[in-house]
Each structure stands twice: as C-alpha cells, then as structure tokens.
C-alpha cells in the first residue's frame, strides 16, 4: 500500500483460457502477474477455474487434469517466487475425497490459502452440483497442496500490511447474504470475486449495478474478474468482464468480447474506506462468523507517479450530462420540498428575497418559484427586492429586473445608498476609506430591509448564501449570513453555477434564458465596492479568497472524505493539472483551512435550510464543530508541503 496516501493498487485480469490445458493457462497467468507487477499492482485476481477453464465439464473429474492443475499452480508459484504481487487464480481442489471449486491465493512462492466456493448453483445453465461440493461449512482446516501446506476453508481472510481482503467465487455474490458481506464486517476492505458468468442480453448492466451495490453495502472495494476468450461456446458465450468498484462507484470496466488478454487496474482508497466505516457506527453484524486471518508476508511494491484512478475536479457536479440533468432536477426538488414544508408549517403565503443579479440569489429565486408552483401559490407572492448600492453595476441590475419580471414575481426596488451614507455619519465612518465596516454595513442594511419588508407583508425572508460561502465565512455576520430559511445552504458554488446554466438551457427561453446565461457568465462579486471605469465589476470574490472550483474540491475532500491536507493537495494537483500548479493549490488550501476554522461562529448561528447532498455544514446536522477549534496542525502540515516545493 502507498502508505503516504492510503491507496492499494489492485487489478482484475482476464487471460485467454485453454480448456483442460493447465500448463498453458499457468503460463498465461504468469504473463498477467508479470505485467501486473510492472504496473505496481499489489493484488491481481483472475477468473473462476482459470487454470483449467470453467467449461471443462466432466473433464474436471479426470485424475490427469486434477493433478496437472495442482502441478501447474506449483510451477506458477515457483516462477513468481521473486515477484511480490499477490495472485488469485481459480482451480479444482480435492479435499477429503470431495471436489471443490476453489481460489488459490499465492505470492512470492508461497501458497497463502485456498478458499472454496460456498454456493453451488443448480439452475438453467448453472448446473454445477454434478461436479462441485459446497465449501460453506469448512473452517479451521489445512490442506497439503502444490507441495505446500496451507489454510483451507470458507473462513479465510488475508492481511497484507494491515489491509485485510476476502475472496469469494461467482455465485457467492448473487445470494441474499454473500460471504463477502461477512468478510467485510470482519474487517476486509478489499473483496475479490473469481467468476465465470456467461453473457446474455441486458445482463451486463445488471452485473455492473450488482457489483457497485455490493461494494456500497459492504463499504469496500469489489474486484471482479470473469471468464472470457477461450471458454467453450457450445451453449454459452463468455464476454470477459473485469470490473472494479469502490463504495458504490465503478472505477474501471474492461472492454468485452475481445480476443486477447485484458486487465483493469485501479488504486483503492483504503484509508477512505476505513474512515467511512469508522464514521458509520452501524457497520457491524453481531452474529458474523469468526474468520481466520492469514498474514501475507510479501515484499512491499514501491511505485511512483500519480494515483491510478480518475480524480474528478468538480466533485459536486456530475461529469456526464445525463447524470447532471438528473442531479439538477433532484436538487431543485429537495429545495422546493424543504421550503414548501416550512411555508405550510408557518401558514406563510409570501416569500421575500433579495435579488442582486448574481448566481446565488438567482438560484434561490428559481427554487422559490418552483416551491410556489408546487404549493399552487401565485408567484406574485414572491417579492423580489433589488437594493442598488455603491457597487451595483448595470449588468447585474438589469439581469435582476429581467428575471423578476419574466418569472412573474413582484418587484420592489429599494436603493440603499442614502440609508448607508446616513449610517456612516451616525457612526463616524469615513466612507472614502472603504473599510470592512463600509462593506458590511451595506450587507446589514439589505438584510434589515428584507426582514422589515417580510414583517410588513407577513412573509418569510429566503436566504441566498451558498455552502461554499458558508465554508469560507464569506458572508457578513448578521447580514447576508442571516435569513428565515437558507434555501442554498448546502449547495456549493460550482453546483449553483451548474444549476442556473441547466435551468437556462432546459427550462427557460427568450429574455429569461438570456438573463440566466449572463448571470452564469458574470464574475462572482458582492458588489460592495464602487464599480470600475466603464461600469465593470471591480470587486471579484475569487481574486480575494481563491477559485471556488478549488475551494469546493477542498471542501468535499476535507469534510466528506476527511483527507489530510497533504492528500488533498496531491489529489487537487492531479485533478486540476494544466489549470493550477501545486504551489497555487497549496496557497489556496491554506486560505481554505484558515477561513474554515476561523469562521465557524457564523455557521453555528446559520438558519435552517435543506440538505441536498453528501456534505452539509449545519450545526444541527453534519458539522458539530466548536467555534474555537485550532487550524494550527493543518496549516503546519501544509507548511511542510510548501517547504518541499521550495526545494525543487
């Protein structure tokens, strides 16, 4: 395992099989193991009965083939005596005069254990009881095989450098309670399946979903290899599926129906699997059978380079358009359902919302419109308030007016310049200095206006601030930080932008679409400082706190995955290669942690709001964090990363 970052590299391989020719199959397995080792793979699994061929039929009862497969395994172990990659191959094994369909786990010349198949199917094309006996009840046994004595039984798990893994065979995964489920609750974080599953129309998608589901339910990685090229096609066709899934997410799938060997490789985030299990206190099964754990003592495999898996730069925004479409619909539905419940509970028929022409207030306005439609309320009850101030530009102002009009809401315009100037005089503030008080007083003035308007009409102030701003504390305390319901509270900035863009293309037309698309293209800004010459926005948020796409990446990795600062920096460097270098990433990551720790007091007082995804900041739900927690240890670790960068 790459100990610095907590990954273990695994592979699912499908070599060509030669039916009933154990030696040629062993040669093919050797090539696979050698290639896997060259790629830094620590464990590689091959299909069910891969040393003899799944479609041998009655040939597996021949003494010749049984002895050949045993000697072929001995030869394979001898040839890999200097290779620390652990191999898992399938072969027939006779134990106590019974024939078992087994998986042999070996590495560096040592046979570490043999695991028999537990569930023997006897339906349709899977009539295996003719040959095989279930190994379900076998435990605490040893066997003399391939010139060595090793543990034998269905109660086996294996441990490599503190990472436990389990093995099951084909049908074992398809039963109500798979052996891998019991292995997982006993500590196995990697689950390997040797399979021989024939292809049929539409079966492939179901298989992938089953593998993903098992990896999710067991909170583990599931590595699956099924028979392919070379198996008999007398009645069945084997496509050669190699699949790797982790915590419900498919990391790799091989091409099917090809006429050559193939291998899918991925780095498994063992550290995150452990973290997820620790955080989920229901991950146990009190009656799980006790397992024997075999310590696998092989040399470490040191590999350099990036992590072998795709790192998404925008964790909160699905990469595929079809998935993004579903995602946006779901988020709107959750926001609307949450607000609808609150409006009904308070018997409120009016919503008051400040519309700046920026991303956050735009998304909030769209969600409120959906809510009123859901409740059958007239959109005229949505009061969109524009409050032009010192930094308001014509671009955002016009977009705000257009959206309120086109969506059929009620417009109120209440300028704040005179009120703020009077306030500056009252408190003795020199407005020419444009201090923090100069900016925040505008945000508080706007919040006061919204609250008072809501009181006048018996309405509810809908907050517009998003989760990214809450994480960074980029909100004025008792200003835009406060509302009666924060509808965007768990929507990160990258997703806000994606949702407004989605709405523009999928649900809007004409002037509304044009306004929404311009909102998406407008730089993020609180517009609290006077505009530049030509009326352009002078105050750009991302110039001050950093790019939101980075901060959303940091937010997900820190809160959802609980990664260390070093690991976050490494992954961000991979995800944003060509966009940000590591020095820039570390710079903004330090800003993230500094602001995240220092601004917790604002989140401790945040209003109610609906949780829409896997990350939330509510002090009543996802994040129970003291306001005086110290960021020193996190920043010190990043200082070390910076020091290493400076040496280069």
User: Tell me, what CATH number does 615's domain have?
Assistant: 3.40.50.620
Residues 197 and 332 in one domain: no
* d(C-alpha 230, C-alpha 118), whole Å: 26
Residue 315 domain flag: no
For 329-355, write each residue's pLDDT tens digit. Answer: 999 999 999 999 999 999 999 999 999
What CATH number should be reported for the domain holding residue 140?
3.60.110.10
117 is catalytic: yes
Residue 310 domain flag: no
If you count DSSP H runs as helices and E runs as strands, how many of each does the chain have, helices first? 19, 22
Q: With contact defined as beta carbons under 8 Å apart, do 540 and 525 qualify?
A: yes
pLDDT grade, residue 372 (50/70/90)? very high
Residues 257 and 330 in one domain: no
Residues 142 and 13 in one domain: yes
Q: What is the dihedral of CA 68, 73, 77, 83, to 10 degrees?
A: 130
Residues 282 and 334 in one domain: no
Residue 483 domain flag: yes
Residue 583 domain flag: yes
| Per-residue model confidence (pLDDT) at position 63 | 95
Q: With contact defined as beta carbons under 8 Å apart, do 497 and 359 qualify?
A: yes
Q: With contact defined as beta carbons under 8 Å apart, do 170 and 193 qualify?
A: yes
Q: What is the DSSP string of 201-243?
A: TTHHHHHHHHHHHHHHHTTSEEEEEE--TTS--SS------EE
* d(C-alpha 92, C-alpha 103), whole Å: 9
Residues 340 and 291 in one domain: no
Give helix 359-375 / helix 321-346 axis angle, nearest 10°.
60
Domains identified in the chain, total number: 2
For 376-428, write each residue's pLDDT tens digit. Answer: 999 999 999 999 999 999 999 999 999 999 999 999 999 999 999 999 999 99
CA-based nearest residue to 15, from 41, 37, 35, 38: 35
Q: Which region, left, alpha or beta, applies to residue 458 given φ > 0 means left and ψ of -120 to 50 means alpha?
A: left
Residues 58 and 163 in one domain: yes
Residue 435 domain flag: yes
Residue 312 domain flag: no
Return the structure tokens found at 138.
């076998």
For 184-229, write each residue's pLDDT tens digit. Answer: 999 999 999 999 988 777 788 999 999 999 999 999 999 999 988 8
For 424-469, write each residue's pLDDT tens digit. Answer: 999 999 999 999 999 999 999 999 999 999 999 999 999 999 999 9
* Over residues 536-565, mean pLDDT: 93
Q: With contact defined as beta carbons under 8 Å apart, do 71 and 28 qualify?
A: no
Report helix, strand or coil for 290: coil
Q: Which residues contact 139 (CB under 8 A, 6 or more apart)?
A: 153, 154, 155, 289, 292
Return the structure tokens found at 531.
């505009």
Q: With contact defined as beta carbons under 8 Å apart, do 331 and 499 qualify?
A: yes
Q: Please provide the distance, in angstroms rounded to a whole number, between the alpha carbons at the two ends of the chain.
A: 26
- Of 295, 310, 334, the residue that ends a domain is 295
For 76-109, write each residue's pLDDT tens digit. Answer: 999 999 999 999 999 999 999 999 999 999 999 9
* Over residues 252-272, mean pLDDT: 91
DSSP 111: E
Q: Which of 48, 164, 171, 231 is catalytic?
A: 48
* d(C-alpha 478, C-alpha 463), whole Å: 12
Q: Which of 42, 56, 70, 117 is catalytic?
A: 117
- The number of angstroms, rounded, from the C-alpha of 415 to the middle of its chain's C-alpha atoms is 44
* d(C-alpha 237, C-alpha 77), whole Å: 30
- Of 278, 295, 312, the residue that ends a domain is 295
Q: Which of 56, 102, 150, 170 is catalytic?
A: 170
Residues 208 and 156 in one domain: yes
| Per-residue model confidence (pLDDT) at position 557 | 97
Q: Report the run of H or E that residue 181 belongs to, with start and end.
A: helix 179-185
Residue 61 domain flag: yes
Domain encompassing residue 631: 321-647
Q: With contact defined as beta carbons under 8 Å apart, do 436 and 461 qualify?
A: no
Residue 136 domain flag: yes
Residues 275 and 364 in one domain: no
Residues 191 and 269 in one domain: yes
**Model pTM score:** 0.93
Residues 266 and 390 in one domain: no
Mean per-residue pLDDT of the chain:
94
Return the structure tokens found at 7.
């990954």
Residues 553 and 613 in one domain: yes
* d(C-alpha 616, C-alpha 593), whole Å: 16
What is the side-by-side strand order in the sheet with 141-145? 141-145, 148-152, 110-116, 98-107, 86-95, 43-45, 7-14, 262-269
48 is catalytic: yes
Q: In this model, does residue 496 exceed pLDDT 70?
A: yes
Instruction: State the maximum Cα–Cα separation within the chain, in Å, rounded to a whole number.
Output: 101
- Higher model confidence: residue 240 or residue 139? 139
Q: In this model, does residue 132 exceed pLDDT 60?
A: yes
Residues 537 and 491 in one domain: yes
If one counts every other C-beta atom within 10 angstroms of the C-beta of residue 42, the result is: 29
pLDDT grade, residue 328 (50/70/90)? very high
């Amino acid at each position: 395992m790459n100990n610095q970052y907590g990954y273990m590299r695994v592979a699912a391989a499908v070599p060509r099989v030669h039916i009933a020719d154990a030696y040629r199959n062993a040669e093919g397995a050797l090539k696979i193991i050698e290639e896997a080792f060259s790629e830094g793979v620590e464990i590689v699994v091959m299909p069910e009965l891969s040393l003899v061929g799944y479609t041998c039929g009655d040939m597996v009862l021949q003494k010749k083939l049984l002895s050949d497969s045993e000697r072929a395994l001995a030869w394979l172990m001898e040839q890999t005596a200097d290779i620390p990659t652990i191999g898992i191959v399938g072969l027939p094994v006779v134990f106590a005069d019974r024939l078992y369909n087994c998986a042999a786990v070996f590495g560096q010349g040592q046979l570490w254990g043999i695991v028999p198949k537990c569930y023997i199917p006897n339906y349709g094309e899977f009539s295996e009881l003719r040959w095989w006996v279930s190994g379900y009840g076998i435990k605490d046994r040893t066997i003399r095989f391939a010139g060595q004595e090793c543990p034998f039984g269905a109660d086996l798990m294996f441990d490599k450098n503190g990472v436990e893994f389990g093995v099951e065979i084909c049908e074992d995964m398809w039963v109500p309670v798979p052996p891998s489920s019991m292995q997982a609750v006993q500590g196995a974080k990697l689950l390997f399946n040797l399979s021989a599953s024939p292809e049929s129309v539409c079966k492939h998608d179901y298989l992938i979903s089953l593998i993903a589901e098992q990896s999710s339910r067991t909170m583990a990685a599931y590595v699956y290899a099924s028979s392919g090229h070379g198996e008999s096609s007398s009645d069945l066709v084997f496509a050669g599926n190699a699949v790797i899934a982790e915590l419900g997410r498919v990391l790799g799938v091989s091409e099917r129906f090809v006429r050559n060997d193939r291998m899918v490789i991925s780095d498994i985030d063992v550290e995150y699997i452990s973290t997820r299990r620790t955080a989920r206190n229901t991950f146990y099964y009190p009656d799980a059978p006790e397992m024997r754990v075999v310590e696998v003592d092989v040399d470490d495999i040191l590999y350099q380079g990036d992590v072998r898996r795709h790192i998404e730069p925008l964790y909160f925004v699905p990469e595929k358009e079809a998935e993004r479409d579903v995602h946006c619909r779901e988020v709107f539905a959750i926001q609307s359902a949450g607000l609808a419940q609150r409006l009904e509970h308070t018997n409120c028929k009016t919503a008051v919302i400040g519309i700046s022409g920026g991303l956050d207030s735009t998304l909030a306005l769209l969600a409120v419109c959906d809510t009123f439609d859901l409740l059958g309320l007239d959109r005229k009850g949505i009061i969109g308030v524009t409050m032009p101030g010192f930094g308001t530009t014509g671009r955002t102002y016009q977009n705000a007016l257009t959206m309120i009009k086109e969506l059929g809401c009620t417009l109120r315009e209440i300028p704040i310049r005179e009120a703020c100037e009077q306030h500056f005089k009252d408190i003795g503030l020199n407005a020419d200095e444009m201090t923090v008080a100069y900016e925040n007083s505008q945000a508080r003035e706007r919040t006061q206006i919204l609250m008072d308007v809501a009181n006048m009409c018996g309405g509810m102030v809908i907050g517009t601030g998003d989760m990214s701003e809450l994480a960074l504390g980029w909100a004025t305390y008792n200003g835009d930080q406060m509302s009666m319901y924060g509808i965007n509270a768990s929507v990160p900035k990258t997703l806000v932008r994606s949702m407004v863009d989605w709405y523009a293309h999928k649900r809007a037309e004409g002037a509304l679409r044009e306004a929404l698309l311009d909102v998406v293209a407008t730089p993020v800004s609180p517009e609290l400082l006077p505009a530049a010459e030509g009326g352009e926005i002078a105050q750009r948020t991302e110039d001050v706190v950093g790019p939101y796409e980075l901060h959303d990446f940091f937010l997900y990795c820190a809160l959802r995955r609980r990664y260390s600062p070093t690991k976050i920096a490494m992954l961000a460097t991979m995800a944003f290669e060509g966009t940000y270098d590591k020095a820039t990433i570390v710079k903004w990551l330090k800003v993230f942690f500094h602001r995240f720790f220092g601004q917790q007091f604002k989140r401790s007082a945040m209003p109610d709001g609906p949780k829409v995804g896997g990350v939330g900041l509510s002090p009543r739900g996802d994040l129970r964090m003291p306001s005086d927690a110290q960021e020193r240890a996190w920043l010190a670790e990043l200082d070390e990363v910076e020091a290493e960068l400076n040496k280069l």
